[in-house]
Structure 1
Amino acid sequence: MDAKDILLDLYGRLPDAVHAAVDGLDESALSARLDESANSIAWLVWHLTRVQDDHVSEVAGHEQTWTAEGWASRFGLPFDEAETGYGFSSEQVGQVRASAGLLTGYHDAVHARTVAYLQGLTDDDLDRVVDEDWDPPVTLGVRLVSVADDDLEHVAQAAYVRGVLERR
């Protein structure tokens, strides 16, 4: 197994987890918050998908799925199209409302583009520096692992919120 296969396996775990967190829930449940400052399932899944879309598109050198395939229009959120959710206020988190189908549709589209990009990588590609603003500079391999790690943390949070809501 080479590094590309490990990354494909890692990213390949996300769609099932995303679907498990949102499938069968209505927009009200997806937007529910455990308290007024908590993140909703809708925000968590939207955010993790936006981060993957943003970061992988940047290193791949292509337009984000969010804009290239019209997902920004479909969601119709009251934010700039470049927003990914970083630093959002509690009020902004509450403005992220979407159906399960919209959330999983966007995630599946981003996942497909991520997989297509990963399939073309070699081990040598992973050593390419993609961000010199850090010490040490960030390589493509580190960036891809970081995005997947962040996504897995957020989808686990969404699953936790779902579990709490279902027990209420």
Structure 2
Amino acid sequence: MDVNDLLIEAYGRLPELVESAVEGLSPEQLRQAPAAGANPVGWLVWHLTRIQDHGVADVLGEKQLWVGGDWAGRCGLTADPDDTGFGHGSEQIAAVRPEDGRVLVDYHRAVVDRTLAYLRGLRPADLDRVVDPNWDPPVTLGVRLISLLADDLQHAGQAAYVRGLIQRG
């Protein structure tokens, strides 16, 4: 298996994780935090998708899908390209109000489709390209792609856990 196939396999697993986390939850349940200060399923899925959209758009040098589509309005937000959820306090978390789980699944699918298309065109040498020289050592494309994937997987697992808490009431 080459590196492209490995990355495609890994990123390609995300939509199923996202869909299973939100499937059948009402808009209220998507916004329900399991405890004070905890993140709800809807916010977690929105955040992991925003991180991937932001990161992939950056390495592509293109506009984020969040900014160009109607995703923001359908989540109760404005299309701010810098709002990915990092540093959100309780009021900002509560402001993420997806109209339903489908909007989260559809936005995530659009982001993953773009990511997979990008990954299909990568060559192994591309992974060594520095995409952020502001770190020591500088961040390469390969490291960035793994960081995005790790963040997505962690948040998808958290969303599944919170879903379980909500369903057990």
Normalised to the residue count of structure 2, the TM-score between the two structures is 0.95
Is this contact kept in 2: 1:42–1:97, CA < 8 A?
Answer: yes
The aligned counterpart of 1:82 is 82
The structure-2 alpha-carbon separation of the partners of 1:79 and 1:56, relative to structure 1 and needing over 3 Å to count, comes to: closer
SS state at 1:45 partner: helix
The aligned counterpart of 1:22 is 22
The aligned counterpart of 2:36 is 36
* Aligned-CA RMSD value: 1.2
Is this contact kept in 2: 1:25–1:100, CA < 8 A?
Answer: yes
Is this contact kept in 1: 2:67–2:79, CA < 8 A?
Answer: no
The aligned counterpart of 2:131 is 130
Normalised to the residue count of structure 1, the TM-score between the two structures is 0.96
Query: What is the identity, as a one-letter code, of the residue corresponding to 1:144?
Result: L
SS state at 2:50 partner: helix
Q: Which runs of 4+ in 1 moved over 6 A?
A: none
**Alignment deviations for residues 75-104 of structure 1 (CA, whole Å, 9 cap, x no partner):** 331573430000000111111111101110
Of the structure 1 ranges 131-140 and 63-72, higher mean CA displacement relative to structure 2 is found in: 63-72
SS state at 1:130 partner: strand
Is this contact kept in 2: 1:14–1:152, CA < 8 A?
Answer: yes
The aligned counterpart of 1:58 is 58
The structure-2 alpha-carbon separation of the partners of 1:130 and 1:81, relative to structure 1 and needing over 3 Å to count, comes to: closer
Query: Identity over aligned residues, as a percent?
Result: 53
The aligned counterpart of 2:155 is 154
Of the structure 1 ranges 90-99 and 156-165, higher mean CA displacement relative to structure 2 is found in: 90-99
Q: Partners of 2:53 and 2:80 in 1: how far apart? A: 15
- Segments of structure 1 that go 5 or more residues without pairing to the other structure are none
The structure-2 alpha-carbon separation of the partners of 1:81 and 1:124, relative to structure 1 and needing over 3 Å to count, comes to: closer
The structure-2 alpha-carbon separation of the partners of 1:4 and 1:77, relative to structure 1 and needing over 3 Å to count, comes to: same
Alpha-carbon distance, 1:36 to partner: 1.9
The structure-2 alpha-carbon separation of the partners of 1:37 and 1:79, relative to structure 1 and needing over 3 Å to count, comes to: farther
**Alignment deviations for residues 118-150 of structure 1 (CA, whole Å, 9 cap, x no partner):** 111000100000011111111000000000000
Is this contact kept in 2: 1:3–1:123, CA < 8 A?
Answer: yes
- Segments of structure 2 that go 5 or more residues without pairing to the other structure are none
**Residues matched between the structures, number:** 168
Query: What is the identity, as a one-letter code, of the residue corresponding to 1:60?
Result: L
Is this contact kept in 2: 1:27–1:97, CA < 8 A?
Answer: yes
